Amino acid sequence: MALQKNVRIKNRKARFEYEILDKYTAGIVLAGTEIKAIREGKASIAESFCEFNNSELFVINMTIQEYSHANAFSHNPKSERKLLLNRNELKKLEKEVRNSGLTIVPLLLFTNDRGLAKLEIALARGKKEYDKRDSIKDRDSKRNLSRIKKAFNN
């Protein structure tokens, strides 16, 4: 499989399940075969979340499939991966998570112009069931409005 120039793997479920309060861009500590697999587009952040361990932030449950041309010493697809943020951002996030009961969820896994893998994370609050119904209703009304506009313009 050919390597992609720009990789953009989204967590579409996160915006539906959570109310996004603040966004951050973090680097990820990866092994050689992991970055190669990401550049092939073989990664998923759909079920992942972030957690603090000894004042360090880790992404849990992020899946990076094994690299196709790797040897026997390949990486573990579901291992914890350390996120790289500056100290002030880490302290602020840890304080918010501990005091307010908020969650840190990954929104987007992408490669920057230098080819480095980055993870856009968000400080988020879980939505209630009625908030989710409102989101569905808004999405459906926007879709119907765009259909009507398209029919009217033709």
What are the structural domains, with CATH classification, of the chain? Answer: 8-127 (2.40.280.10)
Name the one residue in this structure whose structure tokens are 């790289």.
Answer: 84
User: How many residues belong to the chain?
Assistant: 154
Give the pLDDT of residue 150: 87
Which pTM value belongs to this model? Answer: 0.79
Give the pLDDT of residue 21: 92
Segment-wise mean pLDDT, segments of 10 residues, the chain, 154 residues:
73 88 93 85 89 91 82 74 92 90 91 90 86 86 90 82
Phi/psi region, residue 55 (left: phi>0; alpha: psi -120 to 50; beta: rest), is left
DSSP the chain: -PPPSS-EEE-HHHHHHEEEEEEEEEEE---HHHHHHHHTT-EE-TT-EEEEETTEEEEES-EEPPPTT--SS---TT--EEEE--HHHHHHHHHHHHHH--EEEEEEEEE-TTS-EEEEEEEEEEPPHHHHHHHHHHHHHHHHHHHHHHHHH-
Give the pLDDT of residue 1: 52
Give the pLDDT of residue 3: 57
